[in-house]
């Protein structure tokens, strides 16, 4: 397989065929992210992508999913993306689902009918980074969209038939807006009603704008107990029709996996026990991105 630069994928795609179709991220301005710093975004050539599909056809027959790397594969023009999905279907007929990252820009560029066509041709799940539902925090981290736009675009993806997985980040608002961020994020998640929510805990990455703000005293990184209180507020304000809420990423202090609404009360009780010191938190040396 041909890979360029940094490759990332959602935790749930750990066993997928990682097919890199773009290099970098089309936005690449978020203050907390250092994955693609200094890397120019581009769409890889069809020839290279088809060579990788041929490789997967021979050597990846046990893997049932494909994830289209990297930061924003959905921004590929419709005709090329549809051809790519058709090639996957032809040469990897055992694959049951294709996934990709998507942001508000790329989802907005596709019409409702275009999205439904992509869904009908095998693109089954989209991963979107919300990070926060608080407009002030979204502006501070240079996310490129406000809460109402996030809601509209998330609903658009859902209405087109995709499974939607949304990532939020505990601690991203700093100390002063921690609870505001948590409440607002829960409200936005409720309005979108995604199939999956993944809550990560902020870990500062050197050489990013947010890391520099931290070093120079403009950003306060909250402590483990504050992360936990933020998680409780976020969870209490998130009401999904039927979805999975995960906070079991390697960065999290308290692993949680909940089916909502069924597990709401038991998870809140678990968080309360952890806040009371009755449940051990993950030590710092075990946390990672």
pLDDT tens per residue across span 212-253: 999 999 999 999 999 999 999 999 999 999 999 999 888 899
Average pLDDT along the chain: 95
pLDDT at 213: 97
CATH top-level class of 11-284: alpha beta
Contact 196, 244 (CB under 8 A): yes
- In the 8-state DSSP scheme, what is residue 141? T
Question: Per-residue pLDDT tens for 255-267?
Answer: 999 999 999 999 9
Q: What is the pTM of this model?
A: 0.95
Is the confidence at residue 3, as pLDDT, over 80? yes
- Strands 65-69 and 17-20 turn out to be parallel
Torsion of CA 14, 15, 19, 24, to 10 degrees: 0
Domain map of the chain by residue range? 11-284
Give the tokens for residue 250. 């390697």
| SS3 of residue 164 by DSSP | strand
The distance of Cα 5 from the centroid of its chain, to the nearest Å, equals 19
């Amino acid at each position: 397989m041909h890979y360029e630069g940094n490759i990332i994928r959602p935790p749930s795609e750990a066993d997928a065929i990682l097919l890199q179709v773009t290099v970098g991220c089309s936005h690449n301005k978020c203050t907390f992210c250092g994955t693609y710093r200094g890397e120019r975004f581009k769409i890889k050539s069809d020839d290279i992508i088809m060579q990788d599909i041929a490789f997967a056809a021979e050597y990846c027959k046990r893997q049932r999913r494909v994830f289209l790397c990297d930061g924003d594969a959905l921004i590929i023009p419709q005709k090329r993306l549809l051809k790519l999905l058709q090639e996957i279907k032809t040469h990897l007929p055992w694959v049951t689902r294709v996934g990709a990252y998507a942001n508000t820009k790329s989802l907005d560029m596709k019409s409702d009918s275009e999205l439904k066509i992509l869904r009908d041709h095998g693109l089954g799940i989209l991963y979107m980074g919300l990070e926060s539902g608080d407009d002030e925090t979204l502006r501070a981290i240079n996310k490129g969209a406000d809460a109402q736009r996030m809601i509209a675009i998330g609903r658009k993806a859902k209405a087109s038939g995709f499974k939607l997985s949304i990532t939020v980040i505990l601690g991203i608002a700093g100390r002063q807006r921690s609870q505001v961020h948590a409440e607002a994020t829960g409200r936005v998640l409720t309005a979108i009603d995604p199939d999956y929510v993944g809550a990560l805990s902020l870990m500062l990455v050197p050489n990013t704008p947010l890391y520099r703000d931290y070093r120079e005293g403009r950003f306060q990184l909250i402590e483990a107990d504050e992360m936990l209180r933020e998680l409780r507020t976020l969870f209490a304000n998130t009401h999904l029709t039927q979805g999975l809420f995960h906070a079991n990423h390697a960065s999290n202090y308290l692993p949680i996996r909940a089916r909502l609404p069924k597990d709401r009360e038991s998870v809140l009780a678990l968080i309360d026990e952890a806040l009371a010191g009755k449940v051990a938190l993950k030590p710092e040396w075990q946390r990672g991105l």
